[in-house]
Structure 1
Amino acid sequence: MGRLVPAVTRALDILELFLDSEGPLTAPDITRRLQLPRTTVHELVTTLSARGYLVPVPDQPGRYRLGVRTYQLGSRYAEQLDLAAEGRQVARSVAETCDETVHVAILEDMDVIYIAKVDSTHAVRMVSAAGRKLPAHCTSVGKMLLASLPENELDARLAASGPLAAMTPNSITEPDALRGALTEVRARGVAVEQRESNPDVSCVAAPVRDSGGRVVAAMSISVPMIRWSDERQDELEALAVKGAAELSGRLGHRGRA
């Protein structure tokens, strides 16, 4: 790897200040926060402004905000994102940590579609495949995604779907019971499914958000009941939240879910 160029590093440091700033910044603000010489900051701000990465704020002399070039770069980055590919990379890291099967899924009507999957190395593990479709109300990823919907949209989907099918004796089949479960998911920020889609497997799931904060997918960890316990559930919930947050970050999401 070649050496870092100090001027480029400082220019990027200036741009990144705006990620956490509540509003425009002045050159003295930048100087104070980055502990750089005033002359250096002035030259860098002048250069970034000339290239469209910063622009002066109208009627606020000496204040700058991000320019259109940063938006153009962000938009191009978003166009090139592949949720499935990014999901596989993060799922692989999560699976290596817990050695359980990890999925990333999206919502389609009242079903979930698994778009990424990384298997556990254990001989006893969940059998599934990317591209598989399951009823959302029977899965942790599905409950996480349904919980993210506005109430009116959830009601419309439930009305259009007909009766809730049971995959196991533990499956939720009553709409009111599902609504109650989704209320708990919203409160906790994670979803749990205990033998509702497979009598031998339980799962936990956390939400994946895009740059606008919308829940666009969910990440789950699936565990055979022979390795499931309350303590294990707590560990996996934390890991699922961490993995989903990492994937959200790759999609451009910033801040707490």
Structure 2
Amino acid sequence: MVDTSESRRDAGATAGTQSVDRALQVLLQIAESPPPGLTLAACSSILGYSKPTTLRILRTLEARQFLRYDEELGVYTLGVANVQLGSEYLDRLDLRAAALPSMRSLVEQTQETAHLGVLSGTDVVYIELVDSPHPVRVFSRVGASVPAYATAIGKAILAWTPDDTRLAHISRHLEPRTEHTIVTEAALASDLVATRERGFAIDNQENREGIRGFAAPVFDYEGRAIAAVSIAGPATRVLPESASELGARIVDTAAEISASMGAPRRAS
């Protein structure tokens, strides 16, 4: 015997799902349309729904402030609720959580240690890391800080920061960490220009003797460089001639993390 009450519930759930799907299609279509917005007729035509059905959806979204109706132009545009929803989403983004899967994949590909770091004053602070499986590897810890000018992560962030922030770092006293550390303003400025041109930064044993690394910037939803991801390993294993290959992997990884943080797509 068929349970008619359950059948009705299933039918209602299906109808409800279709209604939600239709509402989302309308919302996305209007979001992707050029100014000034879309008319009822345009929405109905594009989506293939009847005008009465489309109008019900539009009015529901308008009542919830996901859409706004311009009576003078007769078009629907996005409403303030989208801004509020987007703001809540962005406030909840967790950089470390967003980066970790991509960092693990990067370590699997390269077999070297991956770091995620942010600027704190004139230093870089490591906020996440994934160790290399090699017994001989870079040893770091979350929370450690190092001078930004002497690291690939620091230079990757600085290369994409506003001029005043970048100049504050360049104009400081640059103390040598190793014999390879960049210690003049002109040389650091030139290195940051080269970093932007190639898309990633290089730490050629500048922070620690015998350690070489590459890093690329991570951007947020406003297009700001908020962090950088790197790989680093013994200079005998991470060779200069591998810069192009490893740099490309770093750039791809940084782009994945940036996308997770809502960053706009950047021109290649």
Report the TM-score range of the alignment, normalised by the length of the smaller protein.
0.7 to 0.9
Match of 2:62? Answer: 49
- The question of 1:107 aligning with 2:119 is answered yes
- When the two structures are superposed, what TM-score results if normalisation uses the length of structure 1? 0.86
Deviates most, 196-205 or 171-180: 196-205
- The question of 1:133 aligning with 2:145 is answered yes
Post-superposition shift, 1:75? 1.3
Match of 2:76 among 56, 60, 64: 64
Residues 55, 19 of structure 1: alpha-carbon distance in 2 compared, 3 angstrom cutoff: closer
Give aligned pairs, total. Answer: 252
SS at match of 1:170: coil
Identity of aligned residues (%): 36
CA-to-aligned-CA distance 1:24-48 (integer Å, 9 cap, x gap): 4314554565x53344544333322
Match of 1:220? Answer: 230
Partners of 1:118 and 1:250 in 2: how far apart?
18
**Contact 1:110–1:158, Cα closer than 8 Å, also in 2:** no
**Contact 2:31–2:77, Cα closer than 8 Å, also in 1:** no
SS at match of 1:178: helix
Post-superposition shift, 1:64? 2.1
For the aligned residue pairs, the C-alpha RMSD in angstroms reads: 2.6
Partners of 1:107 and 1:19 in 2: how far apart?
35
- The question of 1:178 aligning with 2:182 is answered no
Match of 1:209? Answer: 219
Match of 1:15 among 27, 33, 38: 27
Q: Give the alignment of 1:1-257 within 5 angstroms.
A: 5-17=17-29, 20-26=32-38, 27-30=40-43, 35-39=47-51, 40-57=53-70, 59-61=72-74, 63-159=75-171, 161=172, 163-229=173-239, 232-256=242-266
**Contact 1:140–1:203, Cα closer than 8 Å, also in 2:** yes
Deviates most, 148-157 or 46-55: 148-157
Partners of 1:193 and 1:153 in 2: how far apart?
20
**Contact 1:28–1:38, Cα closer than 8 Å, also in 2:** no
SS at match of 2:206: coil
- The AA in structure 2 aligned to 1:144 is A
CA-to-aligned-CA distance 1:39-71 (integer Å, 9 cap, x gap): 45443333222211111246321x222211111
Residues 170, 36 of structure 1: alpha-carbon distance in 2 compared, 3 angstrom cutoff: farther
Give ranges in structure 2 of 5+ residues lacking alignment.
1-12
CA-to-aligned-CA distance 1:153-186 (integer Å, 9 cap, x gap): 3223444x3x212222111011110000011112
SS at match of 2:246: helix
Deviates most, 39-48 or 95-104: 39-48
CA-to-aligned-CA distance 1:95-121 (integer Å, 9 cap, x gap): 233332111111122211111111111
- The AA in structure 2 aligned to 1:128 is S
- The AA in structure 2 aligned to 1:196 is E
CA-to-aligned-CA distance 1:194-228 (integer Å, 9 cap, x gap): 22122222211111111111111111121322332
- When the two structures are superposed, what TM-score results if normalisation uses the length of structure 2? 0.83
Post-superposition shift, 1:21? 4.3
Partners of 2:164 and 2:140 in 1: how far apart?
32
Partners of 1:50 and 1:30 in 2: how far apart?
17
Residues 171, 157 of structure 1: alpha-carbon distance in 2 compared, 3 angstrom cutoff: closer
**Contact 1:103–1:221, Cα closer than 8 Å, also in 2:** yes
